[in-house]
A and B are shown apart, each in its own frame.
Chain A
């Protein structure tokens, strides 16, 4: 047990310690050139306490924890009445989150990989202003509470992303992957990048009105983030979620099953416990379109009169970190695959859109399920991609438009772009969405 928890136990009712230490190396290429080499050695420490029945928190930098307990106690003096206890002792599932080979990587190794990927892409796309980013990280995360939770996990993360602005414009396309282990980039992913990049050589304007839309895995965040907010125990307890009282009801198409699975071995989002020390578990959120459960942390669990289910994370729409209070969040969202080929879905459309992203998501009323974004993706006519979308907006409501999902692909991929990095998604064909364009 960390000495800070020992010290705290003598002076406050309860204490919860979150401590992270990360070592990261990374390289960045811009316009095909090595722009910078990066190395970070960062730590952070967050302490929550319950003191005289009030909750307070403090944040500091390891190893200098001086004043952290005093700061948390000061915060508790003004704080709200604690409605919950910190996590008790529990057994955590075993998840493989660490690979020694990633921890041993050097920046020279990352440069070698980027040079190799660059060379393979340049065979097809010479003189393209490629951007490549490769990172390797080792993290030790500890969550301990005075109530007995003792979680410690070592993890590694390895990721590479590559992309380029489309010819003559600023908007870019990116592909990539992540793992806990070092890997080389599949030829298939490079071929797909080359094909999709060339699709963007020209633009095409779709008809205004309602059109069928295929969401690529990269665009799945447009659907998952409104669902995350709706299923958040926090919004449910405040009665502001559109999913209040909807457990057991059909909220999406029966073709959609959505899990949260932090227990996948080798997955960079793998976690045995959440940021409050509650065990993580594989959980179905939506099964065949029916809402199965909410995402619940300690606070929202107390408000809803039920135990937490391991979804208290220090994350937010933009970033995350020790300074943030935990709130309900996905650990590792996965949309289950269907049984069709995504290319068949595309080939079957008379006119439609292939969506890889959307700009301006956060400006919309997404907690209520609605989105209105500038579409990033491609225009499909006669089963063929005819060009990149330009000045096209799509809008909808996931609880209306995602009741009409026509097909889900058997291919799944991890998304490394968008606001919800990580998670697996297939291609999803939605019967129609509202489209407006120039």
Chain B
């Protein structure tokens, strides 16, 4: 019998995202939940996963309890296979060496476009956000997994500003704009796993997390989102997964 575990929303995000990664993939990871999820996957089912960090690290092994404050400090480089310049590590995306890009999001829309630049009118914003970093490069050039909290203000019909492109206006608009590869693969939230229709490129629900109802997803999404009647339910986080996460982040920098 499976033991019922209690877990935080961030732990759920990290576990569900980590499960989407496959052994052998090369994953370009941001800091926070992406870093935790990829490290979790590496420890449990993907010893052959290769992590890339934007600061210029290829193939590191993050040390438990010493999580880096960004992807650009020496803590990112532990047991790495190679250190290279920022420009060269990002060029691996353009050259086609990266299977999955993995990052968090502030605001996302029905076509998977991400905004991390401005809340409100970009010319006169209510909030100036920190910006793209490598987010635009990653989402322009490879297949993406995004992990974020599921809130109405974050899941909007149209983002105020497209920092990191998803499927732009849907249909073939992404490819038409010159972004011929990559695109949104999955969005992982604390309520569900979302994917995108092959034709329209609109976001839909791929699976609900345990105990989550379709109504909850509708109530927390700022646009009409498709949920099929026979939608799958995910398996709850296991003790083994939560143990690894809590060992990695004992100070609860990211899993609180």
A and B pair up? no
Q: Which residues of A contact B (CB under 8 A)?
A: none
Q: Which residues of B contact A (CB under 8 A)?
A: none
